[in-house]
């Protein structure tokens, strides 16, 4: 993890651009390091051997719990009082996405890679104003942090953030105006999200109607293995990263429902075996390994990219002559949405695997060819309507996100509410970033930390 610029330089660069956005600050305001107005408390590396999911002990706030209403992980060992988080405290996830949120759950413990931010004096810096302001700075730090895998945030970077410091009366007016507008925006977003759920339900209803569970008597019903040929792709191996016959291949990351994404196509050596794994237009590809509700996610290969193979994260179905590839795709989409594939899959941890052998036994209805063509046409027409609804939903969500960003940018630059000349100016604050202050802070925390608290561990934890 490398932060290319420190937070002060990131803000200076944004201001020089003339469009600082969420890093803006009214010309009449001063800036102040976060460490001057708030304390940053890092979490503790609690022993994983004392974690449980049975509700015994104290809830433990992990990175994934930031922004959630509760944690499903509990800690049954000793802990210091200083690592407790109470309802209403502000927490920040320091790995992955750098996210700030107010903890809404019960009293809990602060795990490693999560920090707690506590405003020292609400009459100097309003906690609600800090909550609204902080995420923009965390996003800017995230954007300038390089990483090979997961990005990491340091508490020192958080302490250095140069926050805008309006008079506290203005801060409170900004918070009031923001919360009024954002609450209405959130209500609108909930309505849009409900529309998205209805669109998903519509897609499922279309598929279940066109491929009924009890087919008409004029249809035949066979198995997927009888309706075509099923093959598993070639296994990837480090030794095949270089070789004389490098060929592009598709993997599970390329195959979405009714869509193949060619933005990131890898290559591998297929010396002597390319013909076996080469895809032909009309081949239907299904995800062999996926999250349980998406296992078997299918798409048709339509010839792009050319001369491409596939790996063992995918299954290939090549239909027999009296089965249209488009009909096979319709059947497989139906099986995915009805969770038929999930019932057939073997689930390990959070990944479901649909083997060629298991897929071969799944029922496959076969209407006459003319009926297949008609139903595929009906599906295309109905799905185009659902696609239009989905585009409208996504457009609405994008507009809501832009509006939220615009509101916050107006707030942090002092344009959201009128300024009041009667406001008392923000006080001058003593510098808090020196080594002496850090030593005093650590000393105070040690003194404040009472004797370790513990929770008695029962002899048996009920399952």
Q: How confident is the model at residue 1 (pLDDT cuts 50, 70, 90)?
A: low
Per-residue pLDDT tens digits for 200-245: 999 999 999 999 999 999 999 999 999 999 999 999 888 888 999 9
Question: Over 80: is that where the pLDDT of 461 sits?
Answer: no
Q: In DSSP terms, which residues pair with 232 in a beta bridge?
A: 315
364, 221 Cβ separation under 8 angstroms: yes
165, 23 Cβ separation under 8 angstroms: no
Q: Please state the domain extents for the chain.
A: 7-166+426-448, 221-366
Calculate helix-pair angle for 168-210, 325-337, nearest 10 degrees. Answer: 120
pTM for the model: 0.75
Question: Over 50: is that where the pLDDT of 112 sits?
Answer: yes
Q: How many CB atoms lie within 10 A of CB 386?
A: 17
Q: Which CATH class is domain 221-366?
A: alpha beta
Question: Over 90: is that where the pLDDT of 348 sits?
Answer: no
Question: Over 50: is that where the pLDDT of 163 sits?
Answer: yes
Torsion of CA 119, 120, 123, 129, to 10 degrees: -10
119, 429 Cβ separation under 8 angstroms: no
Both tokens assigned to 380: 């295309």
The CATH code for residues 7-166+426-448 is 3.90.220.20
Q: How many CB atoms lie within 10 A of CB 196?
A: 16
Domain 7-166+426-448 identical in fold to domain 221-366:
yes
What lies within 8 Å, CB to CB, of 43 at 6+ separation is 61, 83, 109, 110, 111, 112, 113, 114, 115, 116
Residue 347 has what pLDDT?
A: 87
Q: How confident is the model at residue 439 (pLDDT cuts 50, 70, 90)?
A: very low
Q: At CB < 8 A and 24+ separation, what contacts does 218-222 make?
A: 218/367, 218/368, 218/371, 219/365, 219/366, 219/367, 219/368, 219/371, 220/365, 220/366, 221/363, 221/364, 221/365, 221/366, 222/363, 222/364, 222/366
Calculate helix-pair angle for 127-143, 369-412, nearest 10 degrees. Answer: 120
Calculate helix-pair angle for 369-412, 168-210, nearest 10 degrees. Answer: 180
**How far, in Å, CA of 147 to CA of 142, rounded?**
10
Per-residue pLDDT tens digits for 287-330: 999 999 999 999 999 999 999 999 999 999 999 999 999 999 99
Closest CA to 105 of 68, 77, 132, 75: 68
Per-residue pLDDT tens digits for 397-406: 999 999 999 9
């Amino acid at each position: 993890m490398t932060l290319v610029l420190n937070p002060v330089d990131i803000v200076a660069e944004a201001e020089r651009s003339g469009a600082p956005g969420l890093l803006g600050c009214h010309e009449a305001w001063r800036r102040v390091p976060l460490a001057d107005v708030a304390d940053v408390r890092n979490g503790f590396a609690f022993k994983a051997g004392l974690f449980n999911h049975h509700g015994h002990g104290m809830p433990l706030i992990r990175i994934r719990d930031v922004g959630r209403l509760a944690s499903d992980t509990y800690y049954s060992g000793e802990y210091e009082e200083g690592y407790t988080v109470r309802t209403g405290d502000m927490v920040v996830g320091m790995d992955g996405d750098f996210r700030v949120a107010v903890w809404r759950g019960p009293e809990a413990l602060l795990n490693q890679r999560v920090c707690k931010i506590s405003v020292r004096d609400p009459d100097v810096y309003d906690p609600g104003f800090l909550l609204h302001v902080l995420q923009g700075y965390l996003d800017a730090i995230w954007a300038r942090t390089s990483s090979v895998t997961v990005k990491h945030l340091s508490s020192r970077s958080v302490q250095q953030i140069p926050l805008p410091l309006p008079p506290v009366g203005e801060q409170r007016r900004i918070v009031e105006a923001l919360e009024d507008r954002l609450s209405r925006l959130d209500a609108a977003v909930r309505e849009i999200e409900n529309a998205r759920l209805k669109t998903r339900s519509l897609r499922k209803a279309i598929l279940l109607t066109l491929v009924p569970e009890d087919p008409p008597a004029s249809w035949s019903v066979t198995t997927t293995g009888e309706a075509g040929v099923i093959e598993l792709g070639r296994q990837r191996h480090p030794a095949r990263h270089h070789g004389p016959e490098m060929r592009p291949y598709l993997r599970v990351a390329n195959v979405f429902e009714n869509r193949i994404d060619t933005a990131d196509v890898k290559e591998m050596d297929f010396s002597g075996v390319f013909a076996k794994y080469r895809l032909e237009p009309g081949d239907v590809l299904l995800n062999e390994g996926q999250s349980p509700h998406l296992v078997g996610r299918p798409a048709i290969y339509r010839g792009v990219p050319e001369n491409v193979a596939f790996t063992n994260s995918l299954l290939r179905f090549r239909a027999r002559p009296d089965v249209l590839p488009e009909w096979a795709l319709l059947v497989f989409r139906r099986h995915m949405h009805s969770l038929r594939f999930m019932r057939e899959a073997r689930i390990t941890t959070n990944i479901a695997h649909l083997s060629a052998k298991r897929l071969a036994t799944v029922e496959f209805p076969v209407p006459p060819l003319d009926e297949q063509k008609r139903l595929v046409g009906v599906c295309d027409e109905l799905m185009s309507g659902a696609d239009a609804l989905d585009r409208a939903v996504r457009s609405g969500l994008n507009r809501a996100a832009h509006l939220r960003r615009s509101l916050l940018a107006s707030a942090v630059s002092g344009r959201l509410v009128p300024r009041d000349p009667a406001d008392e100016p923000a006080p001058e604050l003593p510098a808090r970033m020196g080594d002496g202050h850090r030593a005093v802070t650590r000393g105070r925390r040690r003194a404040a930390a009472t004797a370790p608290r513990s929770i008695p561990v029962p002899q048996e934890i009920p399952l």
